[in-house]
Structure 1
Amino acid sequence: MPEGGDYNAEALVVTIDIMGTDVQRVMIDTGNNVNVFYMDVFQKFKLDPIELMPIGTPLSGFTGDIIHPEGKITLPVEIGTYPRVVIEDYRDNFLNTALDEYKQCLVIGDKYDVRVVFRLVSLWFNLSTRSIVVDSMLCTANEVQSYKFVPLVYQIASRMGNTKDGHGPQSFQFALVSLVKKLAIDHPYHTIFQLLALANGDCIKDKQRSKNSFMVDIDKKVAAENLLKELSSYHGAILRQMKQMVEIYIKLAELETKTEDTNKKVTLPRDIRSFRACRLSATNPGYC
């Protein structure tokens, strides 16, 4: 703003980007609400007059004369510090290209699967707030075979329920849960145990609680429980057997033991011995 005077009445002259072209000496007048575009500038942009929408309201010119405008038009405008705007554009284009090329690499072949999956998931996690990343995740989950993400199922599932990522159909959490759900449907024995671990992450006896005890965040626990409910319609029998097996392991972990019992046989409680043998069901062809 110019020095001195009433800042609310002073004009500001800037350079802005209109349709990819720098337009200099654009005056921003805080006293008016009309953006004037002279016909010679309109012609230099090679715009078609047919794009003009009729307007019946006359304008008062700078000299006080009444001017009847040719029409009105809406154009994309970008205002910002030139180097920063350009760098952000380059960054977005590079990120979009990287995400798409990694996805294509996974779709076309399997030679670089492990390396590409690690790099792709790293980009997702580090830039989870970007809409480009969310779109990439949804697209990749639909086009890439799910088994390629199995090596990172633990890390992927552990990001569920993070409230910082937001919620909704266009959020990182929505895309993440969609991917985990697909992994669980296609590869239940690799994925469901991870979800059960999150769902039971707060199962610690009061006597065994300590400052070093690790407990899963309640948001992760709830997210895992909700997804397990959805999966019951796909792998109901497998899920029931897995839950039973996990319950046995939790009860065994809660058994009170002493140092002198190391070389002795420990008698299992009756509720554990009464469990029927678990025989996990076979999955459908193509699942693992």
Structure 2
Amino acid sequence: MITEEGTRNARSGIGNPVTAETRLPVLEDPTKVAARDARELSRVFLGRLGALEEGTPEFQYIRNTLIELNLSLVRFVATRFRSRGDEMEDIVQVGTVGLIKAIDRFDLTREVEFTTFAIPCIAGEIKRYFRDTGWAVHVPRRLQELRITLAKAVDELAQVLDTDPTPAELAAYLGLSEQEVRQGIVASNGYTASSLDVPLDRDDEAGGSYAEHHGGTDPALDGVEDMAALKPLIARLGERDRLLLRMRFREEMTQSQIGLALGLSQMHVSRLLSHILTRLRGHLLLDA
């Protein structure tokens, strides 16, 4: 517990010394500090943190203390997401990452309360966690958001119609095209995944699993070995050549877009890419 006198001492720099150069209060258990005192102490500790070199013992002490002082803030934000079904401890851990980012990015000169700055950071980190881990397959964010909208619309219309609404009824209700609604319904199937080992017919033990009756060898597997062989070859290329490959094949930019970004003509970009790919192909054939 921090007394009013202790808080005043913290503001004026009077208290138990952390080092010989600075005086800050030493807290036996920062997680038990009252919320009001935690806000005051956070301001003092944040002010000192900005003057320290990262990685020093004092920097680590103050940063860790700030995290513990504000864990109640993480739990407060985490309770908003309790209905998502995940373990609360997992949500708190993710929210703590947001708190740490808020501490590292906070700027006292903005004259904004740390809690005002930290809450969106914590909530954003938790939302990002659900967005990145809640889907069994990658689905564009637009369709992820549409899934939520459709789920609400289905519940609302079902109460009015006394039956599940059709895609056409959902489209009219939401002011969307029927095609957009169908895309959202298909995307919803990517939220969860079933095991391929589930029996095709649960009532027939001899029916076998889905995996036994469907699928085959993916022809793309033949390219895995080539990709493994290409990796060290690409690492030997110059910085500009690696940049060209990344822009063309990872970022999927057109040759014209690459030329515009690098100040080159589309024809020049085409020649450079052709030369790079010829070299890589030649190395692959030599190593085969």
TM tier, smaller = under 0.3
Q: What's the TM-score, normalizing by structure 2?
A: 0.27
Specify which structure has the higher proportion of helix.
2
* Structure with the greater alpha carbon radius of gyration: 1
Q: What's the TM-score, normalizing by structure 1?
A: 0.27
